[in-house]
Structures are given as C-alpha cells and as structure tokens.
Structure 1
C-alpha cells in the first residue's frame, strides 16, 4: 500500500538524517511515523506552499527531540525542505537544527525541546483559536475553524507543566485541542516503569478530556478513526493514547532505550530498509510518492482558496469585522503619551503595580485584541480588566484569563497565544514566582515573542511575607537572558514608559517588575525611561562629583540623598536605570553621556543582589545591595536594616569620596 510506503519513507529519511549527523533521536520517528503521516495526510488542514495560512490546523511536536520526523514530513509534504537540508541535520546554519525552531524552518509552529513546553503552549494555541472564533465567526462564516494537534511522549506527560496546562484545557472544554500520545514505555534510562506507572488515560479523563486508546501504532485505520472521533467530540479536548514501539523497523534497536537518542548505525539502517521494503539508498523518496505529494498540495491549495473566497464574502457581509481582523493581524504603533501628565504631582505617590493596573485598563479600552491574566493573583498583581469579561468554557469572548495557580503553564500558554497571532498577550504573577516560569520565558525570548510579563512584589518591599516571597536574585536572572527586555520602573511615569515599550515590541518579550508599596511621582521621570537609563537630577554626569544609580523604589532614595549631599557641597548626578537591557542597546555616545569614562566615582543602589552592577560601577565604584535572603518584618524596617535609606546612602557617599 502507498500509505505504508510513505510511512516507511518517513522512517528511513529520519534515520538517514540522524546517521548523517551522527547525532539525534531516531527512536520516536521510527515509532511515531504512522501517527504523523495519517494526521497530515488524512486530517490536518494545511497548505505546504503557504505555511502561514490563518485557518490552518496547528501541529506542535511537543516531543521536540523527534525533530528528524518533523523534518522528514516537511520534506515529503513539500514545505521547502530539500534533501540537502536533511543531509545537514544538526549542522551549522542548517534549516534542520537539533530541535525545531520557530521562524527558522517553514512549517515549524514553535520552538520545542524542553519537554512539556510544547503541549502547554498547544493549550495556548487552542485558547487563542477559541477566543478568535468567538469574536469573529458569524453564521455561515466559520472564519476561524481549525484544530491544534500536539504530539507528546512519556517525557512531556511526566513533566509537571503538562498537568497544569492540560488541567486548564479540560476546565475550559477546549474541544479543538487534540493530544496524540506516542506511548512507547521507554525513556533514556530504560522502561517507564522505573518512574512512571500511572494510568495516563484515567488521569486525562479526570482532567476533563475525552480519551481513546489505539492498541497498535501501525494500524493507520485505527489512528485515523480515533482522530475523526476526537474531531467529532464537542465540549471536551481529546487525548489519544497510541501504543507504539520505539525504534520500530530496526530489529536490533526496537523497544530498547538505546533507540531513543543515538544513531542506529549504517548496517542496522541497511537491514531496516530491506525489512521495510525500501531501496538501500540514502534519503530515498520514490517518484510515485512525489506525485502523491503534488496531488496533496493541490488539494491543500484548494482548501485555502475556498477559505479565501469565503473570507471575501465575509468582508462584504461584515466589513467592520473584516477590518478588525486585518487590524489585529497588522503591526500597530501604540502611544501612551497622554497618560504621563496624570502622574506629575510630586506630592502624590502610587505603587507601580497600581500604576500598571491603570495603564492596563486604559489599554483594554483602546486595544481590542489585548488579552491576559494572572496565576490566581489578579487582585494582588492588579491585572484585571474592568468590563472585559472572563475567558471561560461558557464565554470565550472574555479578555481576562484565569490561569489558576499554574505559573509553569501560564507562561507557556501565553507563548502559544502569542504564536497563534492576532493577539497582544500578557500574564502576571509575583516576581519571586518567575522561577516557575523561567523555561517558558526563555522560549519567549528565543522565539522573539512579544509577550508581556507583569511581575509584582519586586523586592524586600514585600515585607512580612518573608524571604520565600522576596525576590533577590531574580532581576539578575532576567537581565542575563538574551532578548528579554526587563524594566523595573521607579514610579508611575516609568511604568507607562515600560508598558508603551512592551506594546510596541515586535520581536522581544518584556518583563515589567513592579512594587507592592507606594512610590512618589518623580519630578523628572518620563518616557526617556525607554532609553534604559537617564539623568533625572540637577547635575550632569560630567559636572558631578559622583554618579548615583538606582532602579525601582530605590531611585527616590538616591534623589533625596542627592539633595542632602548638595547641602554638603557634594554634587551628585541622579540616574534612573529602569532597564539595563535597553541601555545596552543605545548608541555609544548616549551611553557615554550618561556614564562618562571620565567620572569613575559611582554608587549603585538596588534592594536586590549586586550581581551585574559592576558593569556600570566599575573597579572604583561601590554598590549598596542585598546579597543575602530577606526576612519577615515590615518593609520599612527591612529596608533601613539593610542600608536602603537616605541616611546610609549619604554616609556611604561621604566615606567613599573621602577614602
């Protein structure tokens, strides 16, 4: 049968790619090839010649180590990957890197590899689909009508993030989400029975999924039937466990842990091809299969053409909605310039989390595709959008997302929603819990996704909750992450600047780190915060005796200290540095105007770890920081005890200049 030939061709292409690289994971591709081929050939709506067709089904390879199978499928289905690309698997500058990378290889919907991230983000794709469908679809015009498929392995389902994300998917009744479980009972160390004996389908049923079992992973008719039944199931996401054999077809490796992550060996591949009825030829695809794929692509093109025709009729029937659709999918410039004047009275103060709340609610009125929420902390992180409804199984039009106490999954779901397109996405929790989100935040940065992370309770200012809730090292962690833009605003105006930057970001996530406690409005703060660092005091860097630098709640301290130092005839230049990341992006002449090499007397103040500040203080500079964990006590007491007070800053400056 031609299907068997296609499936075995996928197996051989994947095995050849891994062997050519002498690196990779052939086991999953050999076992799961029937799943992928059956899905792509018989069920998935996709157009290989236009991988960004808006109404395509999304396929997420959560088990990203099986990338050789994805690349083999992209090659066979004519997505543009060539035989040479397969030969260059895992090589420098190739289109076939070790794990799938978004925006690098056509047809790859997201960067996967860290297990569990893919299936968690798939929930985000499905949530975005549900929201867009609820907003845009009208009778006879199913403009948004497609599925999200995630291929997962045992490792994805062992990772805790999958429990969080799939629990939410069940609660939300995301019936356009279909999870395909490559169940082969093998991990790197051996049998899954070493550490994983739960009844996975019972777990998924308990989480609100419709579940099925396919006993034989080579039974394509059974696989196809299960997918069809999943698509017909309403009010529940679907989970299909498919029993496969890792390394299937390779007699020397089938069912063994060694099949997982090492090349099969040339002799074993030769025998496998003979056993599978294939020519013993590297990277072989028959002419008949090429013709089949040409016919498939023509059918796929016709499906997209029908959608395009329907969308043209939709535009005529619902011109305002069609215009909105175009607007949602077109990069837009956002200005919050009109808000700065609201926070200019120096006698007033406001927690930056509260300032952020006010900005969020302004944005909610101005930006119709603005959507986000928190990990059960909206009253504390101040992220609830008034009169914008709650996204729920009963109403997918709501803009307030309730992730529950699931920070791991929340960030990954936000990635999926951002990848889906058309939405401006944010999520929120306490800053200290960004530890839970680190992997997904890193993927945001790696994929250049403009997700906004609202992270509140930013320092020992948390106070009585104590060291478990007082982030100390977290800002250094975010600052060290490539392509993550991190803001710690000093007041309401800098918070506006942070949000304005985040809303206009097209290729980087932004973390906005906010205070629990009130902070005074600074006289000279404003949109220059988007440069990362700027002078807000009376003296320029060149005329000053010392440069005082700080972020967040500590900026008010150095500003007050500068006033007292001025009375002592010490000229202190006050520099707010809300974003080291953006400061590093400025032209050299700007950076030197803020931190001239001629002035080496520098003091940085931040109620967090000192890590990273030496870049700006230099060998001669000093830092007032906190390189220990905090403690449970009122915030004012902790700040003073650890030297974060005006008196100590003044003393430190005087001692420093006299040394």
Structure 2
C-alpha cells in the first residue's frame, strides 16, 4: 500500500502542475516515497485537529515542492479537497505556489526562500525541548513531539541553514530530524557546477548524527533511517536520501527541466499506466482513501490519549497547567 500511496502522490502532483501550466513537479515525484512513509507510518497528527499542540511538525523547507505537501495533506484527510488541488497556484486558492501558514490546513509555516524553513524548524525543535523540560512530569509527557524537515540541495547551499544547524548541534536538539532530498539537480543543471560541499562532514562537525547512503525510494531504507534517528538522544539527525528528480517520468528523470514546467499529458499517462493507476486526471484509488481512513482512526486514538493526559495533568498540576495553557493560547 505504501507504494500505491507514493504513486498516487506522483499522479496528483503531476496533474496539478499540468493543470496550472506551471509549478515544480520534480521534487514531489522524487520524494513521493518519503512523503508516503512520513504520513502513513512516521509522523503523529490528527487531520480533524490540525492545531493539536502535541502533533509532530513537518516543515517543507523546499517550498517550491508545495504540491507534494498538498497531495499528502489531501490523502491524509485534512480539509483540502481534490477541487483545491485543481486550483493549484490560482489566486486566493488554498493551494498557493508556495506553502502559506494559515492558508492551508496542515502547513506549519510559510516557506519559499531556501533555507528559511530549515532555520525556523530549529526554533520549533528548541521550543519543544524548552517546554518539555519545563512542564513534563513523571508519567505526564505533555510536550513530546518531533520536528521533521524536508530540505533540498538548494536549502543546503544557503548560509542560514548552517548557522541554524550549528545551533541545533550545540543545543543537542535530538528531536529534530532533517530529510535531505539529495537529487543533485538544480534549476541550472547538476549541482556540482556550483556546489561541492561535503554535507556529511559539515553536519558531523556540527554535532549531528548523519545517516547516509539511503535510497529515498526504498521503504525499508526509510524505516531503518527513521528508527535510527529516534534512537539518537543527544544529537539532531540528518538523513541523506538519494532521490531522482521527476522519478516516474522517463523523459524528465534527473533533468533540470523538471524544476519549473509541466511534464506533458502523454508522459503523465504513461507514468500512471506503469504504476497501475487510473489514467484520468486527479483520480485517487479507493484503496488509498480507505488506508488513510483506518490510519486516521489510529491518529485520533493517539490524540485522545494525549487529551486524557492533559486532563489529568490539569487536575494534579493546576498551576503549571494554567501557565502552559495561557502560553499556547497566545496568538
């Protein structure tokens, strides 16, 4: 089922960019398996309560790949319809060209300038650690969530990413997990024409756990990487996932042209047929929706468990709870 979800993300992303006549389809197709694994197996969320305080945060630092996130949010049950996906990049739609906080349910922050999401996520992870140390009690983990970042080559070309990475390593933010979409292609061509940094050494020297040689389209590799990331208790983690931009579109795979142009209807149909998907535009297999309906039930159970913890906490630690409550309710 994970592969079917990934293939559906590819199809929806390609259809949306084709319909809009513009947009970035390369990253969504290259990271489809990563997205499928995150939403189906890894992150903690409740689409019916998108602002749940103890949800995991997922920041798409590579904001130009916004349709990847929108497609996943739709499948995961957030208030984002197929019609919204069809309005991708349209004025005043819920699916703008780059993710916008408070516009689209499930979007944690507005991203666009590369590196910005990475740095902001470090702040989110720091906030989690500060609040956890201040308010958590024995058997009462009121604050206990991870911050995930999906960042691309462009993000790691920016100085702001390394300033933030240095801070995260110094503060030992072990609940920060960065997934590096390492497709080695920029809008101008191969990244090595301007970018030859050794990412492993950069992050290792900043006190990060580096997990490399991961096939970004292998669910077993992803499962192993996330497990190892969560076992680390003293350092943030970067997972270097080798991906192929525009994966599934033979004419565009590994090509810089996938950055900012439609993929072509005929090529999209070929991709869908090869994956065993319906060839109609914006068509989602019933089995994919059914999977997420069951998964959402599990998500809601975790939410209910946290609500019980919060209720008991409020009774036993009233003063701390009132302070916590007043803080998170600030707008």
What range is the shorter-chain TM-score in?
over 0.9
CA-CA distance at 1:214 after TM superposition: 3.9
Counterpart position of 2:70: 71
- Structure 1 stretches (4+) deviating beyond 2 angstroms? none
**Offset at residue 288 of structure 1 (A):** 1.2
User: What TM-score do the two structures reach when normalised by structure 1?
Assistant: 0.50
User: Which residue in the other structure is 1:207 paired with?
Assistant: 206
1:263 correspondence with 2:266: no
In our comparison, the structure showing a higher alpha carbon Rg is: 1
1:214–1:223 CA contact under 8 A, matched in 2: no
Aligned residue in 1 for 2:317 = 318
2:89 corresponds in structure 1 to 90
* Residue matched to 1:296: 295
Structure 1 Cα separation of the partners of residues 91 and 329 of structure 2: 33
How far the C-alpha of 1:287 sits from its partner, in A, is 1.1
Distance 1:309 1:283 in 2: 39
- 1:56 deviation in Å? 0.3
TM alignment of 1:22-33, pairs within 5 A: 22-33=21-32
What is residue 471 of structure 1 aligned with on the other side?
none
- Residue 222 of structure 2 is aligned to residue 219 of structure 1: no
Q: How does 1:168-567 map to 2 (within 5 A)?
A: 168-331=167-330
**Normalised TM-score (structure 2):** 0.98
Instruction: Give 1:185 deviation, angstroms.
Output: 0.3
Gaps of 5+ in 1: 332-505, 507-659
Output one character per residue of 1:562-618: Cα deviation in whole Å (capped at 9) or x when no partner: xxxxxxxxxxxxxxxxxxxxxxxxxxxxxxxxxxxxxxxxxxxxxxxxxxxxxxxxx
Q: How far off its partner does 1:271 sit?
A: 1.1
Q: For the Cα contact (< 8 Å) 2:214–2:222, is it kept in 1?
A: no
* Counterpart-to-counterpart distance in 2, 1:82 and 1:243: 31
CA contact (8 A) 1:151 1:179 kept: yes
Shift of 1:83: 0.6
1: CA distance, partners of 2:329 / 2:162:
34
Deviation string, structure 1 residues 423-450 (Cα, Å, up to 9, x no partner): xxxxxxxxxxxxxxxxxxxxxxxxxxxx
Q: Could you give the per-residue CA deviations for residues 63-104 of structure 1, whole angstroms, max 9, x where no partner exists?
A: 000001000001110101111000000012210000000001
| Superimposed CA distance per residue, residues 155-175 of structure 1 (whole angstroms, 9 cap, x where no aligned partner) | 000011001000110000000
- Tell me how far 1:330 sits from its aligned partner: 3.0
> Which protein, 1 or 2, shows the higher relative CO under an 8 Å CA cutoff with sep ≥ 6?
2
On the 8 A contact 2:185/2:245 being kept in 1, the answer is yes
Q: CA deviation at 1:227?
A: 0.8
TM-superposed deviation, 1:268: 1.1
Post-superposition shift, 1:276?
1.9
**Equivalent-residue separation in structure 2 for 1:263 and 1:202 (angstroms):** 36
Task: Tell me how far apart the structure 2 counterparts of residues 118 and 256 of structure 1 sit (CA, whole Å).
Answer: 25
- Matched ranges for 1:45-194 at <5 A: 45-194=44-193
Deviation at 1:215, TM superposition (A): 3.4
Tell me if the contact between 1:39 and 1:224 (Cα under 8 Å) persists in the aligned partners. Answer: no
* C-alpha distance after superposition, 1:104-138 (max 9, x if no partner): 10000000011000000000000110111111001
Q: Secondary structure at the match of 2:98?
A: coil
Cα distance in 1 for residues equivalent to 2:59 and 2:114 = 12
Where 2:145 maps in the other structure, the secondary structure is coil
String of CA shifts for 1:202-252, please: whole Å, max 9, x gaps: 111111100101432210111111011101101100000000000000000
Q: What RMSD in Å do the two structures reach over aligned CA positions?
A: 0.9
Is the Cα contact below 8 Å between 2:122 and 2:165 reproduced in 1?
A: yes
